[in-house]
Amino acid sequence: MAKFDLFQFVPFRLNRLAAEVSAALSDEYQVRYGLDIPEWRVIATLGFRDDACSAQFISQCTRTHKSTISRAVTALLERELIERVENEDDRRAFELRLSAKGHTLYEELIPRLLHKERDILSCLTAQERKDFAAALGKIERSLDLVQTRHGQKAGAY
């Protein structure tokens, strides 16, 4: 049998790297703004999209369990960082969007996070960064992790 090297094993490396990178970022949103990871994901998704979206949508595109998103939404509503309005078309669902307060937080937080990301990737050349991102994209697509250009993941919502 080919000798197995855990430290060359990509799934393991991805896990370890993701954990480490998350820890580096959490200084920004956790310590400074008191957001946990699910809460940050809700903020990030809402801030990214101009129009409102449902909890279900956030759950799907961040690959976070719906109960986790539900709890994050509750917490953010209490802190008045997001707003929730009934959906006319479907009264099971709610439309979520950032409040003014939430938008301010978002605008403050984003540059900090982008800066951290740049830091982390600064060990790569511009070309390497590009190739790395492209490789991530290929793997994501092959695992069906991404939406199509119509903003919908095939068959998912």
Partner DNA sequence: TTAAGATAGTCTCATTTGCAACCATCTAAA
Partner DNA sequence: TTTAGATGGTTGCAAATGAGACTATCTTAA
Which residues bind to a copy of itself, rule: CB under 8 A? Answer: 1-2, 4-22, 24-25, 41, 44-45, 47-48, 61-63, 107, 110-111, 113-114, 116-117, 120-124, 128, 131-133, 135-136, 138-143, 145-147
**Residue 148 touches which of DNA, a copy of itself, none (CB < 5 to 8 A by kind)?**
none
Total residues interacting with DNA, rule: CB under 7 A = 24
Least spacing, CB of residue 151 vs DNA, in Å: 14
Nearest to 25 by CA among 37, 15, 13: 37
| Helix boundaries (H) for the chain | 10-26, 37-48, 55-62, 66-78, 100-121, 126-142
Residues numbered 78 to 137 that lie near DNA (CB under 7 A) are: 89-94
Burial class (CB in 10 A: 0-12, 13-18, 19+), 103: middle
- Counting contacts by CB under 7 A, is residue 73 touching DNA? yes
Burial class (CB in 10 A: 0-12, 13-18, 19+), 72: buried
Residues numbered 31 to 70 that lie near DNA (CB under 7 A) are: 36-38, 54-57, 59, 64-68, 70
Angle between helices 37-48 and 100-121 (to 10 degrees): 100
3-state secondary structure of 94: strand
Q: Please, which residue, 84 or 129, has the CB nearer to DNA?
A: 84
Least spacing, CB of residue 119 vs a copy of itself, in Å: 9
